[in-house]
Structure 1
Amino acid sequence: MERESMEYDVVIVGAGPAGLAAACKLRQINEDISVCVVEKGSEVGAHILSGAVFEPTALNELFPDWKERGAPLETAVKGDDIYVLRGPEKAIKVPGMLVPSTMHNEGNYIISLGNLCRWLAEQAEALGVEIFPGFAAAEVLYNEDGSVKGIATGDMGVGANREHKDSYMPGMELHAKYTLFAEGCRGHLGKQLIAKFSLDAGRDPQHYGIGIKEIWKVDSAKHQQGLVIHTAGWPLNESGSAGGGFLYHLEDDQVVVGLITDLAYSNPHVSPFDEFQRYKHHPVIKQYLEGGQRVAYGARAITKGGLQSQPKMTFPGGLLIGDDAGTLNFAKIKGNHTAMKSGMLAAESVAEALAAERAGDELTDYSERYKNSWAWKELHMQRNFGPAQHKWGNILGSAYAFVDINLFKGKLPWTLSDSKADHAQLKPAADCKKINYPKPDGKLSFDKLSSVFISNTNHEEDQPCHLTLKDSDIPLNHNLPIYDEPAQRYCPAGVYEVIEEAGNKRFQINAQNCVHCKTCDIKDPTQNIVWIAPEDGGGPNYPNM
């Protein structure tokens, strides 16, 4: 069966904040531009996970009347508390005057990004955008001259043995004059485009963190709607890792709690999931969660390398936008506003090219448009935050950030580099301290499988594994003896196991558990694991993450 094809002016891959902002802006500029958005989640928002304290700068530009339109920004930030956790019991509250200005959240909102994306999708559809959830972009299509032609969605009804089942349907080809890739962190097509067009030439390698998050329903007496808490220090510092935690008070007696572990850690015994379970037992966090009920769980990698790691965003026939291009501001721990702005700028460049009856060329004006924007200027001002954290750790790195950002407004005459990729940081397991994590108590801390269960993750079982290995021998013959196969621990969903049976070991991939966080694609020490799109609609189904 041959693929059918459809023609659009613009195809957008990913219904996150960048992709939906681009779609809305395109139709605002010219309602005759045909725009299609494909989204691999079963519905818009199903795969969206973010903290999230939301800065409405870009939303104010896109929809100045967002309040009247009913945007789900219901909880304004009313207080910021920052703690340095000094072990499992003690903490020091940081005076506001010593906090980097990027961590102050006046005028921001605590939101569910998934719900905001659902609302943005409604606005896009009202403007005439076609949105197809449950269709994963599986392949980039190219014209004969090498420019991007569009994408193909994945085939459906292919068995694990790669034979066609009775339900087989070939994917659909979506052709466009311009294709925007807005897949989020470590987009699997974005990764291919970066390699094909050498978009990362001369840049630092990209850097990442893994964010693990839960939503809790808590005692109303403990709830303080609008309170934002950020922490540094314990438990990550005990294993020589970096990162930080957060707890945000939403509406309706709900709090979100999470931990971001920097994926530049060197000890292969580190388990970000188990670090998060420990984190919830600290008195600063436990005081709000005790007696409450956990209602949702999820995990997602974040792109945090900043401008030094940002690839070139333009190539013939398309653009990388949002976290596909690394637009997150790590100093703020926020990227939704910058992602949206990158999409809106992309829409302006594309609309201008279409008005001039151009198609498939490289939108070189986008680079200048982006560099002149507040998004680029914000990232430039805070460009040294991430490298400083890697060089000197959370505490000294934050002290540097205070001087650089608060006192000099990012104008110090140098740019720090961070040239070692996260996957290359691991040391041999024999050279590192083994970590004995406490067993979960079922009240504050939990195991991986019960956590994955409440992420509503599901994949069609009889399909090719979407977690592919370049070399099937590497997990047992290389990673296990040197690193004690770290995939068993860095995955927050229990996907990877080393099973011993009758004295023999085998590497097992439980792809059904995968929450699409992309950590394995990032942290595998030999870059042997390659994440590709599973059959359409598979993965987590987050209600309001």
Structure 2
Amino acid sequence: MEFDVLIVGAGPAGLAAAIRLKQQAAAVGSEVSVCVIEKGAEVGAHILSGAVMDPRALDELLPDWKALGAPLDTPVGEDKVLFLSATGARQVPHALLPDCLTNEGNYIVRLGSLVRWLGEQAEALGVEIYPGFAGAELLHDEAGAVIGVATGDMGLTRNGEPGPAYQPGMALHAAYTLFAEGCRGHLGKQLEARHRLRDNSDPQTFGIGIKELWEVPAAVHQAGLVVHTTGWPLQSDTYGGGFAYHLEGGLVAVGHVVGLDYTNPHLSPFEEFQRFKTHPAIRCYLEGGKRLAYGARAIAAGGLQSLPTLVFPGGALIGDDAGFLNAARIKGSHGAIKSGMLAAEAAFAALAQGRRQDVLAAYPAAFRGSWLHAELHATRNFKPYMKKGRWLGSLLFGLDQKLLRGKAPWTLRNRADHDTLRPAAECPRIDYPRPDGRLSFDRLSSVFLSNTNHEEEQPCHLQLGDPETPIRVNLARFNAPETRYCPAGVYEIVEEGGEGNEVAGPRLQINSQNCIHCKTCDIKDPTQNITWVTPQGGEGPIYQGM
């Protein structure tokens, strides 16, 4: 199938790009064919975010979004930033908060619902959207330019052979392909390597965000309340924090983020989140409520200095496939939308000039002149500051924002997350309490709420470069950290029995059907031996407006 522009991923960036392309074509009375493929079973199925949204980019994309019925129904009414100890909480006075941590004029949203609405707007403009089709393979021409992608084969058996329900994938060709897969995109990672997109940038650094959606009693619900926390249960040398966002209709989105640059291999982000909910300052919003949904997703947190080169012959990276999230603001959807618009404008201009499979140099140039670049530049040192410890990092970043207004004459560097683990023998073990079934829960009951499904009779989409490394290195040196950093119980160390039932030794078992596509294993594995690839299209979680 041939298109003018192919977009891989129906998230905020991909759909914004599709809408912008159609808007520009309509403005000059021309036609442009735009196709969006989405690996989720439906648009929004794999979308998970906090989320408090800055509507600035949406104002530019669809100025009449209110009249069009965009699901931005809960304006922020009150901000709280809390430093937590084990039993208490201290609120930061509003006057001391950097501007990036204030939310006046922003909205609490269910990003999956917003993305579904954006999909409707795109289809109304003539965009072709195909959910359930995963971009599995990059397609290049003889000169090395990207000419599109191939979708994954369906109905393969575990050994990769065609089964009874086999359907081959399709080759989708385009003059330009925009990659909007979200954080740690499977194809984006390949593009970075093949086209050397990271030769002039720092490594990306990530967090893992784990979230639940609760329905709570009216007595404890405050629509429009935004609570952010730092401190307990994390140690002071570990970056992270929690949130509780009060939506409309008695709903509270509660979550916790742990920076994947943590050093103690005994740490479990999932267990830290379960402990977080038991803190008096958080449990007061949840007690008597009902947990409705669960999910997790990696978050690109490196900022400006960790952005790769954005373009290559035939395409571009947009949204969190590149890493436009502003970790200091705890916001990324506005950056995703803006980056999609900028790339779309560059692609449309190239098509109008008859250029195909060219380098869209106008896109990074426009980004450098945009408010998004200025915003990311002002907060570029946030993550490196926080590597200095919670208290010192908070002080330094506060001074950076309040006194220097983000214009410090230095830019600090980022380091890859998989390099940071210390040997397990050098680190204290962490004693996590058993779940109580009211505020805290186990992994498997949580995964059940994510509506995750994978056909078991297919090749495993979590691939090991060396099958011996998980035991020889990860277990021996780091006490199998994959069994803890995965929030879905995918990885287990099991003992295999030999003849006569004697123990033959441990092995790593991969329960790939549990995978909720967070990409944490691909990021944090200390030997970079795990590669996440796409399962069959349409599989994975089905988040209900997360």
User: Where do 1:214-225 residues align within 5 Å?
Assistant: 214-225=212-223
1:405, distance to aligned residue in structure 2 (A): 1.5
Cα separation, 2, equivalents of 1:414 and 1:190: 29
Cα separation, 2, equivalents of 1:30 and 1:386: 40
Aligned to 1:285: 282
Cα separation, 1, equivalents of 2:212 and 2:391: 26
Aligned to 1:170: 168
Structure 2 residue 32 is the aligned partner of structure 1 residue 37: no
Does the aligned pair in 2 maintain the 1:21–1:120 contact within 8 Å? yes
How large is the Cα RMSD of the aligned pairs?
0.8
Aligned to 1:342: 339
Structure 1 residue runs of 4 or more that deviate by more than 3 Å after TM superposition: none
Structure 2 residue 532 is the aligned partner of structure 1 residue 531: yes
Does the aligned pair in 1 maintain the 2:145–2:314 contact within 8 Å? yes
1:38, distance to aligned residue in structure 2 (A): 0.3
1:97, distance to aligned residue in structure 2 (A): 1.2
Structure 2 residue 410 is the aligned partner of structure 1 residue 445: no
1:347, distance to aligned residue in structure 2 (A): 0.7
Cα separation, 1, equivalents of 2:225 and 2:252: 9
Give percent identity, aligned residues only.
Answer: 61
Aligned to 1:68: 67
Aligned to 1:370: 367
1:211, distance to aligned residue in structure 2 (A): 0.1
Aligned to 1:49: 48
* Aligned equivalent of 2:141, options 143, 150, 169: 143
In the superposition, the TM-score normalised over structure 1's length comes to: 0.98
1:501, distance to aligned residue in structure 2 (A): 3.7
CA-to-aligned-CA distance 1:199-233 (integer Å, 9 cap, x gap): 00131111000000000000111000000000000
* Aligned equivalent of 2:303, options 306, 310, 316: 306
User: Where do 1:354-369 residues align within 5 Å?
Assistant: 354-369=351-366
CA-to-aligned-CA distance 1:421-475 (integer Å, 9 cap, x gap): 1100000000000111000000000000000000000011100000000000000
Amino acid at match of 2:531: V
SS at match of 2:35: strand
Structure 2 residue 10 is the aligned partner of structure 1 residue 15: yes
CA-to-aligned-CA distance 1:64-111 (integer Å, 9 cap, x gap): 100000000000000000100012x11111111111210100000000
1:417, distance to aligned residue in structure 2 (A): 1.3
CA-to-aligned-CA distance 1:147-203 (integer Å, 9 cap, x gap): 000000000010112111111111011000000000000001000000001100131
Does the aligned pair in 2 maintain the 1:304–1:328 contact within 8 Å? yes
Aligned to 1:297: 294
Cα separation, 1, equivalents of 2:300 and 2:119: 24
Does the aligned pair in 2 maintain the 1:101–1:402 contact within 8 Å? no
Amino acid at match of 1:259: H
1:366, distance to aligned residue in structure 2 (A): 1.3
Cα separation, 2, equivalents of 1:62 and 1:506: 51
User: Where do 1:141-540 residues align within 5 Å?
Assistant: 141-237=139-235, 240-390=237-387, 392-418=388-414, 420-502=415-497, 503=503, 504-540=505-541
Cα separation, 2, equivalents of 1:146 and 1:190: 16
Amino acid at match of 2:325: L
Q: How many residue pairs align between the two structures?
A: 536
Amino acid at match of 2:133: F
Does the aligned pair in 1 maintain the 2:238–2:390 contact within 8 Å? no
Task: Point out the more displaced range, 487-496 or 502-511.
Answer: 502-511
Cα separation, 2, equivalents of 1:482 and 1:22: 45
CA-to-aligned-CA distance 1:36-76 (integer Å, 9 cap, x gap): 00000000000000000000000000111000000000000
Cα separation, 1, equivalents of 2:7 and 2:162: 28
SS at match of 2:305: helix
Cα separation, 1, equivalents of 2:342 and 2:84: 40
Amino acid at match of 2:267: V
Amino acid at match of 1:23: A
SS at match of 1:489: helix
Does the aligned pair in 1 maintain the 2:6–2:174 contact within 8 Å? yes
Task: Point out the more displaced range, 449-458 or 380-389.
Answer: 380-389
Cα separation, 2, equivalents of 1:289 and 1:64: 36
Amino acid at match of 2:493: V
Cα separation, 2, equivalents of 1:414 and 1:477: 42
Amino acid at match of 2:66: K
SS at match of 1:47: coil
Aligned to 2:500: none
Cα separation, 2, equivalents of 1:51 and 1:219: 21
Aligned to 1:3: none
Cα separation, 2, equivalents of 1:406 and 1:349: 36
Does the aligned pair in 2 maintain the 1:100–1:398 contact within 8 Å? no
1:500, distance to aligned residue in structure 2 (A): 1.6
Amino acid at match of 1:277: Q
CA-to-aligned-CA distance 1:297-345 (integer Å, 9 cap, x gap): 0000000101111100010000000001110011101010011000000
Cα separation, 2, equivalents of 1:501 and 1:199: 43
1:364, distance to aligned residue in structure 2 (A): 1.1
1:365, distance to aligned residue in structure 2 (A): 1.6
Cα separation, 2, equivalents of 1:367 and 1:92: 42
Cα separation, 2, equivalents of 1:192 and 1:250: 38
Does the aligned pair in 1 maintain the 2:22–2:32 contact within 8 Å? yes
Amino acid at match of 2:43: V
Does the aligned pair in 1 maintain the 2:4–2:34 contact within 8 Å? yes
Amino acid at match of 1:398: S
Aligned to 2:130: 132
Cα separation, 2, equivalents of 1:395 and 1:512: 40
Cα separation, 2, equivalents of 1:500 and 1:509: 14
1:395, distance to aligned residue in structure 2 (A): 2.5
Does the aligned pair in 1 maintain the 2:200–2:309 contact within 8 Å? no
Does the aligned pair in 1 maintain the 2:53–2:106 contact within 8 Å? yes
Structure 2 residue 78 is the aligned partner of structure 1 residue 83: no
Cα separation, 2, equivalents of 1:36 and 1:511: 30
